[in-house]
């Protein structure tokens, strides 16, 4: 009997109501007692604590004020934690969203350690990023690398898949400060000049 393939489930855009279900505070609603949000690392988590900030821009250079962003990363030793528990000091998964007022997003985490790919090649410290926004049928996937890890970045097997060196720079988060503490800025551009490199994983 021939194999019968099931039809693909149709896609639809993520918004404009994604905040109501997954980003309650950003939508102006009270948060739930157990909420997956932008505090991936609590004060007691081991590793270098950092804050990530950024904006999302559309093809015209305008702020996208209602996008939704998910992050997945290794801990400071390069290990992914597959058992999510909001009571733990660190979880490998977090979420945040751009705000309707200032238009930016913020995430509190730790700087990830080195992870090896399936072939055993070490990759530079990085964070996996998924971007959801209205008008995008399938979420966009990219990576955040750290500009102050130049030596590791130069050897990273994924960054080196990008043929144009200037396009690799769209995946770099640059050091800055937030309230006097170490931070990195990572802006994403969906289209147009300086468009962020997105991957088809």
Residue ranges of the chain whose pLDDT lies below 70: 11-17, 19-21, 201
Residue 8 forms part of a structural domain: no
CA distance 142 to 56: 13
Which residue range forms the structural domain that includes residue 108?
18-189
pLDDT at 22: 74
Residue 199 forms part of a structural domain: no
Per-residue model confidence as pLDDT tens digits over 6-65:
888 776 666 556 766 677 777 777 878 778 899 999 999 999 999 999 999 999 999 998
Give the CATH number of the domain where residue 52 resides: 2.60.130.10
pLDDT at 137: 79
Residue 37 forms part of a structural domain: yes
pLDDT at 136: 83
Residue 99 forms part of a structural domain: yes
Residue 194 forms part of a structural domain: no
Number of structural domains, the chain? 1
């Amino acid at each position: 009997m021939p194999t019968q393939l099931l039809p693909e489930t149709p896609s639809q855009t993520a918004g404009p109501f994604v905040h109501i279900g997954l980003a309650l505070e950003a939508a102006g609603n009270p948060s739930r007692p157990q909420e997956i949000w932008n505090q991936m690392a609590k004060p007691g988590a081991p590793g270098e604590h950092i804050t990530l900030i950024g904006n999302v821009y559309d093809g015209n250079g305008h702020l996208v004020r209602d996008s939704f962003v998910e992050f997945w990363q290794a801990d400071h030793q390069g290990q992914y934690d597959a058992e999510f528990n909001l009571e733990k000091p660190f979880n490998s998964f977090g979420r945040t969203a751009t705000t309707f007022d200032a238009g930016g997003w913020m995430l509190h985490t730790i700087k990830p350690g080195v992870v090896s790919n399936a072939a055993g090649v070490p990759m530079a410290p990085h964070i996996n990023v998924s971007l959801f926004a209205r008008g995008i049928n399938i979420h966009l996937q990219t990576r955040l690398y750290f500009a102050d890890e130049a030596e590791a970045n130069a050897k990273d097997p994924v960054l080196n898949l990008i043929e144009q060196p200037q396009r690799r720079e769209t995946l770099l988060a640059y050091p800055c400060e937030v309230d006097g503490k170490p931070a990195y800025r990572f802006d994403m551009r969906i289209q147009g000049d300086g468009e962020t490199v997105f991957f088809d994983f």
